[in-house]
Structure 1
Amino acid sequence: MKFSGYRRPDGSVGIRNHTLIVPNGRAAADLGVLISKVVAGVKIFVATNENGRDPQDRATLARTLRGLAMNPNVGAVLVVGLTRNGSHAEFSEAAFLEPIRATGKPVETVFLDECGGFDAALAQGVRKARGLLVAASRARRTEADLGDLTLSVKCGYSDTTSGMAGNPVVGNVFDRLVAAGGSAYFAETTEVIGAEHLVARRFTDDGERKEFLAAVARVENEARELGQDIRSINPIPANIAAGLTTLEEKSLGAVSKSGTSPIQSCLRYGERPACRGLHFMDSWMSSSVLFLGFAAAGSVLNIFQVGGGNFVKGCMMPVFTAGVVAPVLFMTGNPHTWEKAGEDMDFSAAPVLERHASIEEVGSRLLEHICDIASGELTRGETFNVDETVEVFLRGHCF
């Protein structure tokens, strides 16, 4: 199966061609935002302040911002800052800027201390951003193989149809993608509890397996330290109203979205893997958190597989730009959800539940639709001009 994408100098293939402004620290974000308001068509992501954060969180913030710039969907990058080396070592030129340059895509910089002040930096930033837009626009789509894709998935508002139809269809797609040489990410550490032993068996490396099991244990222990039982917090009320009864039941349905392929590694949030294949990302369950982390790790298309819950009542907003540079494909295996919210969704796996088609047949249809989106067809969420508030998954302390 083929699609038409943007092949980057480092060999990766994107499905969109964005020009991205990246601050090398929160203090320079206002400069980037003003540039983005003047120059049409550029994107920017503003993260929380790295100052006062512990080293783990600073590393996560830097990894996320740097990863977004390195994403194959980004054709050109403007890095802005107060100084070339940022306010912390994690944002230094060597740690932050050089990996972005190593992708070979057009990269420009604007630093206040080198421009002589804010007004001069703003003028220079506008000029450079416009030039980058033109440079990125010269890229042309070329034929690419299925194995050039990197996809990711999150499930949400899970119900009984999630584990019976929607998630298994995604798992079928992931198995085909990995077999073709592509990469796939799944996550949500809270959503594997009760089924972690089944997931752990699939890791190819003992060290990575231990990292995964340690992440699961950490979540349970953190809940206990707060006097909570994770199994009484999750499933959430919407899951229970939609028919799920226990966390184990929810997790068994959730992990089916990963398919059956061997798992290569347990990634930190926003971490780019060392090899192709299927990977687990240690993260929280929030859609905006996950889609951002997936994009930072290199995913070019996020899949949001939803069940019922509030969708059946027609009272939930669609996902817009939570991946910043990576669009979101919205799908469901619930026929009632599709009926209520179909205008805001991209794909229905409900024929599996209705016994009109097999998981394999619907998986083929989803894969064809993914290749259409990869070749330029817009997702429903991309038709909205909305700057969604997007969070970064931080676990440390503020000082």
Structure 2
Amino acid sequence: MPRRRTLTLRGTGALVAGVGCLIAANMLGAQILLYIGVLLLAVTVFSILAVRLPRRSGSVARQISTDLLTVSETSRVTLRVTLRALRVPRGLWRDVLPDAVSGDSAGEYPPETGQLSYLITGVRRGVWPIGPLVLRTVDPFGLAQREQAFGETRTVTVVPEVFTLAPLTVKVGAAGGTAQTSSSRLGQGSDNLSPRRYIPGDSMRRIHWRATAHRGQLMVRQEEEESSPDALVILDRSAARWARPGDAADPAFETAVSMCASVAVHLVQEGYGVDVIDSAGTLLGALRGHEDDRDGLLVALALVAPRGDARDITTLIGGTPPGPLVYITGELDEEDAALLRPSGAAAPMLFATAPLPGAVEAAVQHGWRVATLGDDVTESWEDVLPDRVGLGPAESQRGATDVAR
């Protein structure tokens, strides 16, 4: 935070004028100029002492109306200031804001309402500090000023914007968003267990005593395959796909992150259990319908940045292909697109912010539905829906390819 000079522009002028009068008085022998010069210097020194000598200390408590601030969302910051001083100084206050957050965080002190309050808007995702509170006071002559910081900073988390997407027009899997894919993972509760007759060799620990008492013969617990409405969203953040990281945000990558968040939240609303991973296989979030899951994913996406290399999709998916598979990437050439295999996913959807010539065709040959990810996230999503309104499956695929081109 840059510090202001003690002397204002007027004070600097008074100091220069005073020194000039003393020099002129000595050269011209004009006593009146000597008086004026001494007066200007004395007033300037008095002004500096008036603003610098009073001791002040205090504390600041900040409260933000939302825990997570979404890009383009507005939130209110309320400050309660406890200031200890001989007298209440009058001046201007401002709360220091990062470039990633915009807002009019300044005003007159002390305020009429007794507390400080202002609105902020998220501009760039990430975790950013707000504060400290700076109080600026000026002497009555306007020659000297003092800026003093109070309180500690508080961080605000700006998460990517989540857009409302159109629903999937066809159900993927056996029963849409309630039973898409069958998984051999064993459940943890009794709902995933059904009794069957005892077979020699079964462990006695698996005996279902309630069913045994009910049927009059030994029954054992049998694990059933549980219905797992899984969807997988992969954010390709490998460094080769994006512009080199710097101080300025990459608009294409920001759009990709927002698309990732929007798709994940949308799929969980449709009844899917959603896993979000990056191209290296790192789990960014697992959504199972809880609000905490959503917040955890958004916080993880607030901190994500391009880095590393991408792994093969088959390795990322593992042995059980998901229902919907959404792959979000940046610059994609024909050779890399030919290596992207959906590995048996029921609805593979590919979004690329900068597909190079031939990339779309190469991806479509492997069964992907492809669209260029532009500024309008909702429009890009509609371009790859499994069954666009009014089109058959073949026509729908051609339509998505035409849009991507």
TM-score by length of 2: 0.27
Structure richer in helix, relative to its length? 1
Between 1 and 2, higher relative CO (CA 8 Å, sep ≥ 6) is seen in: 1
| Larger Rg, first or second structure (1 or 2) | 2
TM-score by length of 1: 0.27
